[in-house]
Structure 1
Amino acid sequence: MSKNRSLASVKMVRLIEKLAPSEGYTQSALDSVRLMRSDRPLGRTPVLYEPSIVIVCQGRKLGFLGNDVYIYDAQHYLVLSVPLPFSTETQASREEPMLAVSIRLDLLELSDLITQIGAFGRLPDAAPNGIVSTPLDDPLADATVRLLEALTVPMDAHILGPGLVREICYRVLAGAQGGALCAALGHHGRFGRVAKALKRIHADYASPLNVPRLAEEAGMSVPAFHANFRAVTQTSPIQYIKSTRLHHARLMMIRDGLTAAAAAGRVGYESTSQFSREFKRLFGRTPVEEARDMRESFSLSPAVHFGT
């Protein structure tokens, strides 16, 4: 690690400790930016990430999707161009908590950036990829420090924050995996058709979703849709829909205090007993046990208020 990177890491840790004093997720002054903190190790845990950039400043996380393992730590960041359910492992301790910043991707903003980067001939041909882990370089680390600094000053967060988020997105798209990400975010070809189906699923997960109808909307036969869907998500459309509903229900129980029956109805289940069976199959515990034990890890705290 370079001297500049080492100094940036120290600054990032200090700033996130200030911005996220509690475990779980903490909202920042910007709607698209959240801080993540864990004061203890967590074994393999099913998660659902929306399209985002996750920069870990201390500690380590491992992401597991199919047979692939993605490392994101002080030397690597994670990018997801489509919403994906996968599982993570967190390496942390009270003495050295896992500290990270998560930036939700704005697809309209990214489309503008991709167009501008392409105008300079900086978009290499690459196969689209829905999830990548990439080494963190000095320019991206520096931009992250400046974003975190801005978030500690309300006026700076409001005026400078959006531009700093845009710079971070630019650094990612212009980086080593930029070609694969641009191809994915551009929603071209079969990957793009699946990406649009994923967007539809996340918008309407509580409604009845018919796989043949999703395939028709994607302009594919049902077998082709299944094959391409699995290539992007490592799972079938039915399992993806089910997982999305269960993840949202878990968050409703953890963050909103809903009962299992209320959460089940909110995400589209007609049978509470079926919901409980499928929940335990995915998370390994009953809804009550999971909500109780994961409340700290998945809670969402409001933004910390700083003086002007």
Structure 2
Amino acid sequence: MEHTTVLLNEAVSALDIKTDGVYVDATFGRGGHSRKILEHLGQEGILVVFDKDPEAIKIAEQLALDDKRVLVVHSGFKNLVYELQRLNIKKINGILFDFGLSTPQLDQAERGFSFRFEAPLDMRMDNSQGITAKEWLNQVSEQELAQVIKVYGEERFYRKVAREIVSYRENKEIETTKELADLISRTIKVRHKGQHPATRTFQAIRIKINQELEEIKIVLPDLLNVLDSGGRLVSIAFHSLEDRIIKQFIKKNSSPEYHPKWVMIKDNGRQEMPLRIVGKPIKPSNEEVSHNYRSRSAIMRVAVHAGGVSDD
């Protein structure tokens, strides 16, 4: 299935693109947002794209061959500051995060992200490095596994799932996506109609393997230094774990009550904060959801760098 970019026009509009600005697509994916950004950039503009997925990088490099405004970085966005310094870029005018998996990642059985296919348990965004889901799952302790499923999967029956996985692997290693999904299906029942029993556990393992939430927590404070005054932060999250991190970060850096007394005070007595919230969170329209069901859980938040000081 072809990947359909979520909140395409809304996200690019939220960046408020300057024709000669420097922008970052921190999650290139299959390039939908990047191509739209390029439509608004002038010839002096620059677009830096990041991705860990080798398949995404191939597409990005082809785009860069056709458009010299594009600079490609094969890396997770946690290395944002280092990579921008390497490119001799000191400030950016906007950055976009789209935290969802791309449709090809889900639909390519060999990637091991989906329980819909029989495939090796991999789940790595960059399948050229790091530990696979199979390797981790077959050696992790029951206590740690339960904690991962609880925190990253928000699975109500986390102890039961962890216990059954550990019990099963005493006799045989868990090797494939279907093997794991069938084991979970025998262990718990669905909580919501239409949701597979393995959905939350698969999400938890994927987040753990790729350190997804940790990467977000690492990069956010760096944005306060690399975003130019007036620069935009645009994030699209697909589950509450990601969105909660973004929401709390923006609130912390835009609300005076979160800050100590030594934060800069303007003459009018108001604390000068680094961020300002732009509008309300945006969700896909009913029309978009009808054409792309996977967009249904997306939520977009926007903030602008206001030039203040952070306590991070």
Structure having greater relative contact order (Cα 8 Å, sep ≥ 6): 1
The structure with more strand, counted as a fraction of residues: 1
TM-score, normalised relative to structure 1: 0.28
TM norm structure 2: 0.28
Higher helix share: 1
Larger Rg: 2
